C-alpha cells in the first residue's frame, strides 16, 4: 500500500488569493509554510483564534492539484455558522491562519483504481483535487464524477465539473436536457460500470442516499469510501 503523507503539526497559511464566486461561496488560496505535499482527497483543519484566545477549528477539503504551489479550499457559508461566515465576510489577502494538514489516509484516491465519485454541494471539493490531478497526469478515464446540488449556482466549481465531463444532477433546476431530479439509479449504473471503488462526500442525508444508489448499481459497501460533512461537535 502506498504511504499517505499526513501533516501532524500546526503551521501558518497566508491568504494569497481570495474569491467570492457567489454570496454563499468563498475560495481561498493559501501559501502554506513547511508544506507537506497532499494526496487528492485529503483536507486541512483551519483554526480561528480570537484576541481572548478562544479558538474554533473546522475541516476543509483541499481542491488543489498536488502540483499547485498554493493550497486551495472552497467554503460554503452556512446560516448561523461560526467559521464559514467569517471566512466569507472577513478574510482578506495577506491574513494569516493556523492550519494543520494534509489530513486523511482513507479518503485519498489511489490513482490506479478506476473510481466513481459522488459529491453533494460542497462535497464536490475533494473530487476537484482528484479531477485536476487526473487531468494533469492524463489518467482522467479512471475517474468519473457525479455532482449534485439544488441549483447550478449552489454547485461549487460547476464550470470545471462540466468541462471535465462530470454528470451534473440538479434537483431544483433543469440542466440542459436533464429534468430537475435527484441522481437516479440508471445515471449511476452507467458511470459505475467498471469502477472498483466509490468515493462519496456531502451531508449526512446525501451520503446515505448516495450509498443506496451505489449499492443498486452493484458497488458493494466495502468498496465505498465516505466523507461526511455534519454539524461540528
Ligand X SMILES: Cc1cc2nc3c(=O)[nH]c(=O)nc-3n(C[C@H](O)[C@H](O)[C@H](O)COP(=O)(O)OP(=O)(O)OC[C@H]3O[C@@H](n4cnc5c(N)ncnc54)[C@H](O)[C@@H]3O)c2cc1C
Residues lying near ligand X in the complex (CB under 6 A) are found at 43, 58-61, 73-76, 78, 80-84, 122, 125, 203, 227, 229-232
Cα 185 to Cα 213: distance, rounded to the nearest angstrom: 6
- Closer residue to ligand X (CB): 194 or 205: 205
- Closer residue to ligand X (CB): 124 or 195: 124
- Closer residue to ligand X (CB): 71 or 192: 71
- The residue number with the shortest CB distance to ligand X is 81
Cα 12 to Cα 124: distance, rounded to the nearest angstrom: 25
Q: How far is the CB of 174 from ligand X (least distance, A)?
A: 25
- For residue 113, give Cα distances in angstroms to 182, 196, 199, 203: 27, 6, 12, 25
Residues 85, 86, 88, 92, Cα dihedral to 10° = 180
Q: How far is the CB of 19 from ligand X (least distance, A)?
A: 14
- Closer residue to ligand X (CB): 75 or 108: 75
Q: How far is the CB of 169 from ligand X (least distance, A)?
A: 19
Q: How far is the CB of 209 from ligand X (least distance, A)?
A: 14
Q: Which three cell numbers stand for residue 57?
A: 477549528
- Closer residue to ligand X (CB): 104 or 134: 104
- Burial class (CB within 10 angstroms; exposed 0-12, middle 13-18, buried 19+) of 79: exposed
- The helix (H) or strand (E) run that includes residue 206 is helix 204-216
Q: How far is the CB of 41 from ligand X (least distance, A)?
A: 10
Residue 217 — φ and ψ, nearest 5°?
-85, 5
Distance of CA 176 to the CA centre of its chain: 24
Amino acid at each position: 500500500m502506498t504511504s499517505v503523507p499526513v501533516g501532524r503539526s500546526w503551521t501558518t497559511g497566508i491568504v494569497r488569493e481570495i474569491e467570492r464566486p457567489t454570496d454563499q461561496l468563498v475560495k481561498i488560496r493559501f501559501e502554506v509554510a513547511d508544506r507537506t505535499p497532499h494526496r487528492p482527497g485529503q483536507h486541512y483543519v483551519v483554526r480561528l483564534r480570537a484576541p481572548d484566545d478562544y479558538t474554533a477549528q473546522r475541516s476543509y477539503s483541499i481542491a488543489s492539484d498536488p502540483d499547485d504551489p498554493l493550497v486551495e479550499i472552497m467554503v460554503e457559508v452556512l446560516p448561523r455558522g461560526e467559521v464559514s461566515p467569517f471566512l466569507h465576510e472577513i478574510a482578506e489577502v495577506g491574513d494569516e491562519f493556523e492550519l494543520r494538514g494534509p489530513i486523511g489516509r482513507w479518503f485519498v484516491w489511489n490513482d490506479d483504481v478506476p473510481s466513481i465519485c459522488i459529491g453533494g454541494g460542497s462535497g464536490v471539493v475533494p473530487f476537484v483535487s482528484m479531477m485536476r490531478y487526473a487531468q494533469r497526469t492524463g489518467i482522467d478515464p479512471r475517474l468519473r464524477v457525479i455532482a449534485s446540488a439544488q441549483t447550478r449556482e449552489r454547485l461549487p466549481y460547476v464550470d470545471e465539473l462540466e468541462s471535465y465531463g462530470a454528470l451534473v444532477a440538479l434537483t431544483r433546476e433543469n440542466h440542459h436536457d436533464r429534468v430537475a431530479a435527484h441522481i437516479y439509479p440508471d445515471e449511476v449504473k452507467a458511470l459505475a460500470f467498471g469502477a472498483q471503488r466509490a468515493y462519496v462526500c456531502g451531508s449526512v442525508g446525501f451520503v446515505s442516499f448516495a450509498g443506496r444508489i451505489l449499492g443498486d448499481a452493484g458497488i458493494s459497501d466495502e468498496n465505498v469510501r465516505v466523507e461526511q460533512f455534519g454539524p461540528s461537535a
